[in-house]
Amino acid sequence: MNDRFLSMYVFACVARAGSFSGAARELGMSQPSVSRIVSELERRVGAALLTRTTRAVTLTEAGWGYLERAEAILVAVDEADHAARGSGELRGLLRVAMSTSFAIRAILPALSRFTDAHPALRVEFVLADHRQDLVSGSVDLAVRIGPLADSTNAVARKLAVTPRVLAASRAYLAKTGTPDTPDDLSRHALILGPAGRGPDAWTFSKDGGTTSVRMKARFVLNSNEAAVAAALAGLGIVSSGLLGCAEELKNGTLLRVLSGWDIGSGDIHVILPAGRAAKPSARAFADFVASEFVDSTPNGRLSTGPTMSGD
């Protein structure tokens, strides 16, 4: 690896890690060596690429522009190496962003089918129930559920649709009774995870008619897994995407509430950064995720499962 390519690669690692120490650990180098290589790159370029503080390093405006072009070069080299090997083997680091629920429930149980085929590939998951920025987080691929904002920085591939559902434990429904209409929800404790947030009123539809009900949650959590756990503990009725509580509905630890009413759904997309070629590993992972859903979700819609009692 020549000095210029090495400095470009090290700089990209520092930008991705947000620190020299983090990049040093990833690269297996000493922190002083990483700092020296980036400083030499800045001298050669003639511009400050990073702003250094005691807590972290951030990209300057010049650094953002350099990173975008540098990553395009690094991806092109990776593509050339991949093509030259001719074996389809993937190497290097793949950074994937998605919600914690999606990773736990949909991806990790099936991940070995992908990683066993590519033993030289490292996969780093960035898990959060808020939407991560692909560029600033140096994310190679993201999976997102729900509406997408208009963006020129990403391209999206739709995988499936997951309905929103309301669910509660048997113990909670035995104690409080089961709501028969959306208006009955005003007498219940509501649990909102990320999927249930948004407008103050929820719109329900049934038999061609719609009704809106103002919602006031008793419990608000920023994690879908925590919201489902709260429902399992009998704290109330949870609003979740079906994907986030499908196993609990299947095994009967949670029951569907108001299953005859439609309260909307969310599209599931794979997102790749625009403006530069996607890594071969990112394209392969996108195909893997798509195959998992296409094979298991006829017509691209997740099944709501059997109707449970208490509706």
If asked whether residues 79 and 169 sit together in one domain, one would say no
**Nearest alpha carbon to residue 77 among 154, 156, 142, 12:** 12
pLDDT of residue 72: 73
pLDDT per position as a tens digit, 175-227: 999 999 999 999 999 998 886 555 667 889 998 889 888 878 899 998 899 99
pLDDT of residue 197: 59
DSSP 175-226: HH---SSGGGGGGS-EEE-GGG-SSSEEEEEETTEEEEEE---SEE-S-HHH
pLDDT of residue 67: 83
Full residue range of the structural domain in which residue 39 is found? 1-86
User: Which range, 26-40, 132-146, 152-166, 191-205, has the best average confidence (pLDDT)?
Assistant: 26-40
The one-character DSSP state at 30 is: -
Number of structural domains found in the chain = 2
> How would residue 303 be classed by pLDDT, with cut points 50, 70 and 90?
very low
pLDDT of residue 234: 96
pLDDT of residue 235: 97
The answer, yes or no, to whether residue 74 has pLDDT greater than 50, is yes
| Partners of 86 in the β-ladder | none
Average pLDDT, the chain: 82
Give dist(CA 8, CA 4) in Å, integer.
6
Angle between helices 20-27 and 3-17 (to 10 degrees): 120
Per the model's pLDDT, the better-predicted residue between 268 and 228 turns out to be 228
For residue 30, being part of any structural domain is answered with: yes
For residue 296, being part of any structural domain is answered with: no
The answer, yes or no, to whether residue 240 has pLDDT greater than 50, is yes
Angle between helices 31-45 and 20-27 (to 10 degrees): 110
Give dist(CA 15, CA 211) in Å, integer.
49
Listed residues 250, 265, 280: the one ending a domain: 265
User: Which range, 143-157, 237-251, 277-291, has the best average confidence (pLDDT)?
Assistant: 237-251
pTM for this structure? 0.69
| Partners of 162 in the β-ladder | 266
If asked whether residues 261 and 169 sit together in one domain, one would say yes
Average pLDDT over residues 24-32: 86
The answer, yes or no, to whether residue 251 has pLDDT greater than 90, is yes
Give dist(CA 164, CA 268) in Å, integer.
12
For residue 208, being part of any structural domain is answered with: yes
Contact 179, 188 (CB under 8 A): yes
The answer, yes or no, to whether residue 84 has pLDDT greater than 70, is no
- Angle 112-28-98 (CA atoms, 0-180°, nearest 5)? 40
For residue 274, being part of any structural domain is answered with: no
Listed residues 67, 86, 105: the one ending a domain: 86
Strands 265-273 and 154-168: antiparallel
The answer, yes or no, to whether residue 170 has pLDDT greater than 70, is yes
For residue 156, being part of any structural domain is answered with: no
pLDDT per position as a tens digit, 148-167: 765 555 688 888 888 999 99
